């Protein structure tokens, strides 16, 4: 049977015959045919201006309205302040010193002399860039040393380090799961988890924050309909400063035969007697979960992310995960800095204890002032919930005037009624600094 020719859509019957006739004419010059086809191509319809105006992109108008309102109320822009040194418990902005609550330097290892020295030595020996994907020719001794140190510190078989914490979740989740699978995550999961689930094509659903019973009920109904199921929780939630009942989630993993990923971006160096994270906090073996994700930008004072776990799956990711395979290797000085931080944390666990003392103290001081701290456990993150985006922006501005640097968090990062200031604690915050801050918050809210 002769093959049916594909119709020429978008042209009138007469024009279809004309084009077909010219195609059959062997003497037709190809250039002439292109001109003829161009001549009969339907004209492009006008595109509405809103589809080519950057100001009409989704969310832009709301953003502009917020900035306009803030300016009208005299609130200063709390973002993109230029810090003139190493930010820790204090920082300098515009030549002025501030009590600082807007950085991840939890253990004050960023700027530590040993950390800086190791980064400088790596620059002298390897330069500032790996200059290639690690698989191609970007592998340096520091990469393997860092991964072995992290695996040993956490108690896992292996670990792979990547150049971005956000990209680590995106590429791992997006690469390992697919359209026949289900991803169930905490309602307050980080954006990187959501983006990874979207990339995977799997069915994505959220369960109420820290509610293992709701997850259990969902799995009882949904588990038979999917091949693989991934459950994602965080070790310490960066917006609320609370943490999940990990033993319950580990039991659910075993009962329903799911994978479990624990995002420890904010719990490593903070939770556990020696800063090894939420598993140490609960006294659980690392085999209670399949994937332990972490970042290098907090406790480890660098930039990047990692996945630790079973040797086979980590090695598979090292050879196939797009976010690793097609990305330049981690910069040698960054790897060296993180490696030294791991060594310092093992040597000086008292930094973790000092951080937790500061966190508990600040939480108690804020509660004594009648401030809404949500469900914070008082570890390293304490939110002060204000209840509106403009209220959070105004409070941040008033505190800045009083010499306190803290960022507002508002929609869409959190619900409008949950808009807040988010305080990151440092192991070197003093009692006087914390008392001053708690009183300043209460005064600024009252005024």
Q: What is the pLDDT along the chain (447 residues), one digit of tens a residue?
A: 444 444 434 445 554 555 455 555 545 454 544 555 555 566 678 888 888 888 888 888 877 876 776 676 666 677 788 888 888 999 999 999 999 999 999 999 999 999 999 999 999 999 999 999 999 999 899 999 999 999 999 999 999 999 999 999 999 999 999 999 999 999 999 999 999 999 999 999 999 999 999 999 999 999 999 999 999 999 999 999 999 999 999 999 999 999 999 999 999 999 999 999 999 999 999 999 999 999 999 999 999 999 999 999 999 999 999 999 999 999 999 999 999 999 999 999 999 999 999 999 999 999 999 999 999 999 999 999 999 988 999 999 999 999 999 999 987 788 899 999 999 999 999 999 999 999 999 999 987
CATH of domain 60-109+350-446: 3.90.1150.10
- pTM of the complete model: 0.85
- Rounded to whole angstroms, the Cα distance separating 169 from 307 reads 9
Q: Which part of the chain is CATH 3.40.640.10? A: 127-347
Listing DSSP states for 203-272 in one string gives EEEEE-TT-HHHHHHHHHHHGGG-S-EEEEEESS-TTT-----HHHHHHHHHHHT-EEEEE-TTTTTTSS
CB-based burial label for 10 (10 Å; 0-12, 13-18, 19+):
exposed
CATH 3.90.1150.10 residue ranges of the chain are 60-109+350-446
- Estimate the crossing angle of helix 13-24 against helix 30-40, to 10 degrees: 180
Provide the CB-side half-sphere exposure for 418 (13 A, CA).
11
Query: C-alpha distances in angstroms, 408 versus 37, 75, 126, 189, 411?
Result: 58, 12, 39, 19, 10
Q: Characterize the bridge pairing of strands 182-186 and 229-234.
A: parallel
Helical pair 60-72 and 389-401, crossing angle rounded to 10 deg: 40
* Type and span of the H or E element at 434: helix 431-446
Strand partners, 229: 182
Which tokens hold the place of 122? 């790596």
Considering just the CA atoms, what is the radius of gyration of the chain in Å?
A: 27
Taking each helix axis from N to C end, the angle separating 332-347 and 113-126, rounded to the nearest 10 degrees, works out to 150
Residue 98, SS3 per DSSP: strand
Q: What is the fold, at CATH topology level, of the domain defined by 127-347?
A: 3.40.640
């Amino acid at each position: 049977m002769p093959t049916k020719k594909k119709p020429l859509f978008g042209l009138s019957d007469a024009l279809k015959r004309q084009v077909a006739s010219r195609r059959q004419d062997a003497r037709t010059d190809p250039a002439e045919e292109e001109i003829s086809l161009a001549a009969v191509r339907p004209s492009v319809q006008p595109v509405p201006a809103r589809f080519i105006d950057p100001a009409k992109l989704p969310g832009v108008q709301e953003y502009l309205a917020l900035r306009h309102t803030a300016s009208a109320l005299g609130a200063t822009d709390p973002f993109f302040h230029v810090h003139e040194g190493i930010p820790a418990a204090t920082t300098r902005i515009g030549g002025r010193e501030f009590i600082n609550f807007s950085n991840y330097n939890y253990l004050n290892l960023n700027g530590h002399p040993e950390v800086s020295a190791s980064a400088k030595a790596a620059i002298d020996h390897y330069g500032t860039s790996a200059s290639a994907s690690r698989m191609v020719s970007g592998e340096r001794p520091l990469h393997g040393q860092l991964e072995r140190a992290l695996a040993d510190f956490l108690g896992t078989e292996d670990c792979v380090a990547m150049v971005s914490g956000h990209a680590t979740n995106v590429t791992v989740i997006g690469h390992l799961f697919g359209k026949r699978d289900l991803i169930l995550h905490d309602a307050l999961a980080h954006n990187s988890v959501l983006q990874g689930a979207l990339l995977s094509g799997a069915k994505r659903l959220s369960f109420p924050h820290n509610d293992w019973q709701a997850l259990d009920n969902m799995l009882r109904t949904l588990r038979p309909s999917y091949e693989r199921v991934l459950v994602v929780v965080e070790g310490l939630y960066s917006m609320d400063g609370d943490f999940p009942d990990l033993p319950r989630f580990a039991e659910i993993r075993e009962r329903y035969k799911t994978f479990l990923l624990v995002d420890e971006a904010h719990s490593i160096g903070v939770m556990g007697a020696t800063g090894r994270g939420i598993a140490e906090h609960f006294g659980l073996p690392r085999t209670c979960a399949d994937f332990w994700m972490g970042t290098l930008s907090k406790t480890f004072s660098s930039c990047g992310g990692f996945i630790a776990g079973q040797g086979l799956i980590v090695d598979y990711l090292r050879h196939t995960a797009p976010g690793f395979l097609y990305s330049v290797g981690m910069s040698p000085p960054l790897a060296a800095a993180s490696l030294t931080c791991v060594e310092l944390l093992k040597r000086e666990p008292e930094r973790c204890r000092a951080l937790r003392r500061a966190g508990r103290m600040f939480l108690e001081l804020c509660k004594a002032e009648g401030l809404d701290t949500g469900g914070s456990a008082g570890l390293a993150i304490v939110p002060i919930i204000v209840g509106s985006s403009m209220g959070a922006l105004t409070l941040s501005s008033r505190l800045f005037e009083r010499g306190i640097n803290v960022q507002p968090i508002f929609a869409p990062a959190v619900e409008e009624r949950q808009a807040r200031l988010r305080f990151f604690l440092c192991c070197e915050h003093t009692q006087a600094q914390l008392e001053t801050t708690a009183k300043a918050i209460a005064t600024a809210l009252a005024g």
